[in-house]
Amino acid sequence: MTSTSLSPPRVKVCGITRAEDAALAVELGAIALGFIFWPHSPRAVSAAQVGEIARGLPPFVSLVGVFVNQPVDEVLATARAAGLTGIQLHGDEDAAAYAAEGLRLVKAVPVPEAFTADALTAIPSDVTVLLDAHDPVRRGGTGRTIDWTRAAEAARLRPIILSGGLTPENIRTAVRTVRPYAVDVSSGVESAPGVKDESRLRSLFAALRSESVEHA
């Protein structure tokens, strides 16, 4: 029998509102930080806030802005003002509207009970898919997990970012089951919305570092 090791996925820490949380996430190994620009979110920030936070970060950290059904012109203006390197569309937007803008695109796809991987075929290959819990009101940050078996089917078709209720306690099982390209964490490492918990962040990254799953 042979065995192979499963490398830890890349990590995006989303819902950042404080400079100290951003710095810790990057120190622990996050390659991307997510900032919520949807005004109805308890984690909403302004372009000016993101600019201040970004000034204290090392180079090559991806700054991803999260938007929900906001006008294209507004999204692009915010991206420029905040110095974003990527845009995450978390509503019903058409990613094609941003194709010529030179920004990395992430499209959030809700995973209801009837979800099948075929639902992703309409999304262009140069757009990264993020799978999250289905909630048409809160649009993310719900703390609810998705069906990891269905997510695994999607991950076999294309690279995906796994989101939805990921915590230090369940991250290893989630990674083992889905084998995502990346994971997106938010509420599972918080003490309050937009306030990351240092102990939980450290525990999550420690769990990922120790994840060396052996497959027969």
User: Which residues make Cβ contacts (< 8 Å) with residue 12, sequence separation at least 6?
Assistant: 30, 31, 32, 33, 34, 62, 64, 161, 182, 183, 184, 185
Which listed residue (14, 73, 92, 197) is catalytic? 14
Which listed residue (92, 132, 184, 197) is catalytic? 132
Residue 184 designated active-site = no
The C-alpha atoms of residue 184 and residue 168 are separated, in whole angstroms, by 12
Residue 197 designated active-site = no
Note whether 16 and 34 are within 8 A (CB).
yes
The C-alpha atoms of residue 62 and residue 117 are separated, in whole angstroms, by 27
Query: Torsion angle of alpha carbons 186, 188, 23, 107, nearest 10°?
Result: -20
* Catalytic residue IDs: 14, 132
